[in-house]
Structure 1
Amino acid sequence: MEFIANYGGSSDDEDVVTPRKHKFYTVEFKLKVLKHAKEVSNKVAAEKFGVHRKRVQDWVKQEMLLHKIKESSPAGKFKKKLPGGGRPLTFKDLDIQLAAWLRERRSKKLRVSNLILQQQAVKMFNAEEDEEVICGITISHDGSEDDHIHCFKEDGPIPEGPFELMVSRSAIQQAAGLAEEVDKEQDDENGYLSDESLNSNMISIVNQQNQSQFDDETNDNYRTHRTEEMVSTTDNETELFVDISDALSERDKVKYTVHTKTKLPEFAKQEMSVVREHGEFIWLHNCLENNENFAGFIIPPAPPRPDFDASREKLQKLGEGEATMTKEEFQKMKQELEQEYLATFKKTVAMHEVFLCRLAAHPIFSKDPNFRVFLEYDNDLLVRGKNKREIMGSLFKRFSQSADEVLLSGQKDIDDFFEHEKNYLVEYHTHIKEATGKADRVCRLRRSVAECYSRIASNLEKCGQLESTGGDKEFGRFLSKVTDTLERLKKAESRVGTDEELKETDTLRYFTRETSAAKDLLYRRLRCLANYEAANKNLERARARNREIQKAETEQAEACKKFEEISALAKTELVDLKKRRVEAFKKNLTELVDLEIKQSKNKLSLLQTAVASLKISLPNSNGGQIPVVADFSS
């Protein structure tokens, strides 16, 4: 491996810019500036203490962390750098060797200049064996990434592989923030936002409805839409309670107010509320999924992305057709869209809350530091989206995992329990995924039937208006009653479709993702088994060659310990999954049957009343009334 240094020079007529020197301030100084900024303003505080106003703004965001550092130790107030600051060690082993060499030279009172230090670094680097190293951002199967770059050699991952991306991410976020400000200014100048007045009006109405319905126990509470009941396995005295107390829709984003109550000593407060977006939920899921300490657990599936595209598309069409509608038709369609939007809104809130409750009720996940940061940190977590390279990396990783699963599929498991579970879950996942698609199709057909009722009612209403003005007025009133009946049937059919979606389709979809997470657990265990068997073979080869036996024994013992730990945890998790799945299906399907019976009775009563009313109101050819002869007793 060769080290090539490139010191780009400059020509004589180029201006050499002196690099800007950054001053470092103590925690005590920063808090003093913040105190003055609160009393007056950021600008006045920056001028008084001789610092840039941007730094004061950054310190305002870091105030909680600064107080924690100051209280951590007597010397905390004299610290100048926050955790994670300073130069990242790109080659940690070489830095350690170079530091030891430097201390040795100085102990001998030998001269060490920057040039000598640089030459020694190049010499040490080139002395390393030529070895292929692959580095990349690790990405989970759902296409999202974690906060680390991982490096891999031919014989496995490098222990010191992960490096935080804080510096680069901060620069990217600053650039993105500037670009976003420019875009907003251009939008305001060009008047792009004026076209969304109807959309903003609807969303504000929905938010008002959310505000009034979230705490109204008499309404159809969104918590009844949970796929499964949450049962905490933590200590009751120090239990962690998490719920989403409020949610707000802002254009294409939904902001969730996560409310937490706890007596756990790890938290600074016993009650707190933070605002989180969907991307931050995905970040939390990725942190759990990429944590090797949780390899033996089924990671709760991440909540799906809020999908309001269908509602917004209908809203756009409604806005375009406003000129051709009467005021009553427009208000009626607008009310229907608001109800549809609200139903989707409540469902996505419930799915996000289930994810958090699963973590809070778990004895291990609830103690994760990233989960505490998610619940406790007041500011945004600054989770950015993926670029094109990361998206391609996610596809590559998925292909790699699929190929690895194919290679491991032929490996016979030493435990009959896991061999049976693997075959069972593979077949079960295929069937439940297909059932989810079929159930989703049924829900779409239900909505289509409801729409057909609405269209028929609309056309009959127009016919009735024509009859009332220039035809048979009695027949016009008759058609008006038929229209009213069809509108009620449409609401009943929509209600049936909503119940089927919440109780059946969502349950199937949830456990499709849960089964996929269980399959990932079995894959991680099978990978540990393969590593354990490879370590056994390496130990046999080392003993045959009588070389590096101790190293091979250590690796074999570690692989054995890891495999046994993940096997014990996986067995418990799979048994628990089966129990939870059976209970959830029993609960939701029983409730669905009860709702179907209730809606069928309502529809039957509606049709009986409608037929009786229509036969009474329809005149016969002799001018009399047609008697009611319908018998529904059978």
Structure 2
Amino acid sequence: MEEVKEVRSALSVHGHNIKITEVLKDEDTLTFLIVSEKLSGTGEYHVHRTYKDFEWLQQNLFSQEDVPGIQGVIFPPLPAKAQVNASTKVMKQLGFLGLGDWQPYSKALETFLCQVASHSILCKNKAVEIFLTSLEHPGGQRVKKNILNRLSQVMEEMRKEGHKDVDEFFQNERDHIIISTTSTKAAAERFLDVVLTEQKIAVACGHFSAALHLCVEPGEDPGKKDFSKVCVKLSEVFESIKKNMTSVAKNNMNTLGLGLDLESRCQEAKKEMLFRRTCKLVELENARRNAEKAKTVKKAAMEEVKKAAETEFDHISEVAKQEIEGLNRIRVKMLQQALVQWCETQLLTAKESAQQFNQHLQVFKGMA
């Protein structure tokens, strides 16, 4: 996933300015309204897309086997499919993207599209232009077999994952990615637990606020009147706590939560690319051994196979190194932005809540 840079000649839209402005629900199907600005500056494209269309786009990107070095590309990660009335298992798979309304999920799809449209190799695929501009749903079209179809066959040979690399740079990246993917995923899961707990606290405060109104008793008895006033005021306090916890949970989800989710999925995409390259390394070493052992009659043919494998592997490694360096640069910016937004929103919420709680405190002092 190289550093974001727009290639103007590849698309008729601005790759950095793609938005999902609306999510429509039709029974169990979600439809996303995608708006992209025309490169000519004469207007916008408005298209409706389902998740099936997103899958079609992703499969087309995976099918570019004739593009030199394509297997060295870190493909932008497409979020898992979201469903209306999803099961607990699906919600757990979605993590932060399955919480609250559809805004976090739409933001993740926006990020995916911007990364694809801004990628110097992927944006040249005709499917990207069709997806962003055509009024027809492309998801029903057939897609030829892709590198992941072929990858699923070699996944059985898990020994390749631990195969020693010939390049120290890639060996270090492979060693590091094993730790980073696990750590990032764990951090996202723990932070998700925090948000879920905050949501539960908000709900509990809302219930307690409502229950306090049941303690209010009519009548002119001074003791009952004073007790009722305290209950009403406490109800307002817990309602404020509910609003505060709801805002905190939402801030956590929309800032650092989405940042950790994207970081985790990008790490997985990087890991997949490194494994594809390792599989190509094994193929290259096999080709070299075959060329060495080949008899005179087949020697020339085996040498050609070896040279082709070497050329392909070198190209993949060159692209992969650029992709890794680009991703390592932008992931720092992404996490930094998420952390800054998280701090800013939480500070703003804390100030607003402090003012509300101070007002409640003054009222209680007056009652005393």
TM-score band w.r.t. shorter chain = 0.7 to 0.9
Number of aligned residue pairs: 344
Paired position in structure 2 for 1:441:
193
Q: Is 2:323 the partner of 1:573?
A: yes
- AA aligned to 1:370 is A
Q: Is 2:62 the partner of 1:305?
A: no
- AA aligned to 1:479 is C
| Superposition map of 1:13-32 within 5 A | none
Paired position in structure 2 for 1:374:
131
Paired position in structure 1 for 2:90:
none
- AA aligned to 1:566 is I
Paired position in structure 2 for 1:615:
365
- Secondary structure of the residue that 1:249 maps to in structure 2? strand
Classify 1:307/1:489 alpha carbon distance in 2 versus 1 (closer, same or farther; 3 Å). Answer: farther
Paired position in structure 2 for 1:255:
31
Paired position in structure 2 for 1:525:
277
Paired position in structure 2 for 1:3:
none
Paired position in structure 2 for 1:295:
71
Paired position in structure 2 for 1:547:
297
Paired position in structure 1 for 2:226:
474
Q: Is 2:344 the partner of 1:344?
A: no
- The separation in 2 between residues aligned to 1:420 and 1:379, in whole angstroms, is 45
Q: CA deviation at 1:262?
A: 3.6
- AA aligned to 1:594 is E
- The separation in 1 between residues aligned to 2:203 and 2:258, in whole angstroms, is 22
Q: Is 2:6 the partner of 1:233?
A: yes
- AA aligned to 1:348 is Y
Q: Which runs of 5+ in 1 are unaligned?
A: 1-229, 312-340, 386-393, 618-625, 627-634
Q: CA deviation at 1:395?
A: 12
Larger CA deviation: 484-493 vs 279-288: 279-288
Paired position in structure 2 for 1:383:
140
Choose which of 411, 415, 418 in structure 1 pairs with 2:170: 418
- The separation in 2 between residues aligned to 1:447 and 1:401, in whole angstroms, is 43
Classify 1:310/1:558 alpha carbon distance in 2 versus 1 (closer, same or farther; 3 Å). Answer: closer
Q: Deviations over 1:542-601 (max 9, x none)?
A: 1xx212122112111110111000000000111111111111111111221222222223
Larger CA deviation: 508-517 vs 561-570: 508-517
Paired position in structure 1 for 2:334:
584
Q: Deviations over 1:399-436 (max 9, x none)?
A: x55442x3113321111000000000111001111111
Q: CA deviation at 1:375?
A: 2.1
Classify 1:342/1:563 alpha carbon distance in 2 versus 1 (closer, same or farther; 3 Å). Answer: closer
CA contact (8 A) 1:304 1:348 kept: no
Larger Cα-atom Rg:
1
- AA aligned to 1:252 is D
CA contact (8 A) 1:507 1:588 kept: yes
| Superposition map of 1:198-209 within 5 A | none
Choose which of 280, 283, 289 in structure 2 pairs with 1:537: 289
Classify 1:582/1:410 alpha carbon distance in 2 versus 1 (closer, same or farther; 3 Å). Answer: same
- The separation in 2 between residues aligned to 1:446 and 1:363, in whole angstroms, is 42
CA contact (8 A) 1:249 1:255 kept: yes
- AA aligned to 1:489 is I
Classify 1:444/1:529 alpha carbon distance in 2 versus 1 (closer, same or farther; 3 Å). Answer: same
**Whose relative contact order is higher, 1 or 2, with alpha carbons under 8 Å and at least 6 apart?**
2
CA contact (8 A) 1:467 1:475 kept: no
- Secondary structure of the residue that 1:579 maps to in structure 2? helix
Paired position in structure 2 for 1:278:
51
Q: Deviations over 1:344-392 (max 9, x none)?
A: 222222221111111111122111012122223322224399xxxxxxx
Q: Is 2:338 the partner of 1:597?
A: no
CA contact (8 A) 1:233 1:361 kept: yes
Paired position in structure 1 for 2:215:
463
CA contact (8 A) 1:457 1:484 kept: yes
Choose which of 409, 414, 431 in structure 1 pairs with 2:161: 409
CA contact (8 A) 1:298 1:518 kept: yes
- AA aligned to 1:571 is K
Taking structure 1 as the reference length, what is the TM-score of the superposition? Answer: 0.50
| Superposition map of 1:36-115 within 5 A | none
Q: Deviations over 1:169-195 (max 9, x none)?
A: xxxxxxxxxxxxxxxxxxxxxxxxxxx
Q: Considering only aligned residues, what root-mean-square deviation do their CA atoms show, in Å?
A: 3.0
Write 1 or 2 for the structure with the bigger share of helix: 2
Q: Deviations over 1:5-54 (max 9, x none)?
A: xxxxxxxxxxxxxxxxxxxxxxxxxxxxxxxxxxxxxxxxxxxxxxxxxx
CA contact (8 A) 1:468 1:477 kept: no
Larger CA deviation: 558-567 vs 345-354: 345-354
- AA aligned to 1:287 is N
Choose which of 460, 466, 486 in structure 1 pairs with 2:238: 486
- The separation in 1 between residues aligned to 2:252 and 2:243, in whole angstroms, is 14
- The separation in 2 between residues aligned to 1:558 and 1:395, in whole angstroms, is 22
- AA aligned to 1:253 is T
Classify 1:348/1:555 alpha carbon distance in 2 versus 1 (closer, same or farther; 3 Å). Answer: same
- AA aligned to 1:246 is E
